[in-house]
Amino acid sequence: MADPMRIRAQASGGKATVRVLMSHEMESGQRKDAAGKLVPAWFIQEVTATLNGKPVLSAEWGPAVSKNPFMQFAIKGAKSGDKVAVTWKDNKGDTRTDEATVS
């Protein structure tokens, strides 16, 4: 299981800005190891976010997203106290969900 994500959600002016920092290797599949063999790609493919259990965002990522990915988005109508959950799934089928409260 991967390390937890760091999620910060701040409400201002009728929307909440959510910043997520995930912990993932994001191996591009282009790199070679010391023996000259390609390191297989290992990256987050799907990212979804929910507000109080209702899906608000889904995204697909490629291996070109940087290591330990950062993502920022804004949810309309979210207010202080709402719960934001973010889930990612990588190309090995590993998945992780973390939740934060809008402040």
Partner 1 sequence: MQTRRETLKQSAVVAGLLATAGFPQFAQAAFNKAGFDAKSVQDAAKAYGAASLAESKDVTITGPDIAENGAVVPLGASTSLAGVKQLLILVEKNPAALVAMFHVSDAVEANFATRAKMGQSSDVYAVAIMADGKALFAKKEVKVTLGGCGG
Separation of alpha carbons 11 and 18, rounded Å: 9
Given a contact cutoff of 8 angstroms between Cβ atoms, the answer to whether 44 and 89 are in contact is yes
Q: Which of 3, 30, 95, 103 binds partner 1 (CB under 8 A)?
A: 30
Stretch that binds partner 1, among 3-11, 51-59, 80-88, 94-102 (CB under 8 A): 51-59
Retrieve residue 31's tokens: 């790199």
Show the CA angle centred on residue 8, arms to residues 7 and 11, nearest 5°: 140
Q: Which of 2, 8, 63, 87 binds partner 1 (CB under 8 A)?
A: 63
Q: Which of 23, 46, 83, 98 binds partner 1 (CB under 8 A)?
A: 46
Per-residue x/- track, 67-96, partner 1 (CB under 8 A):
x-xxxxxxxxx-------------xx----
Nearer to partner 1, 16 or 96 (CB): 16
Amino acid at 91: N
Whole-Å CA distances, 85 to 19, 45, 48, 75, 95? 12, 17, 8, 12, 13
The residue ranges that bind partner 1 (CB under 8 A) are: 15, 26, 28, 30-32, 45-46, 49, 51, 54-67, 69-77, 91-92
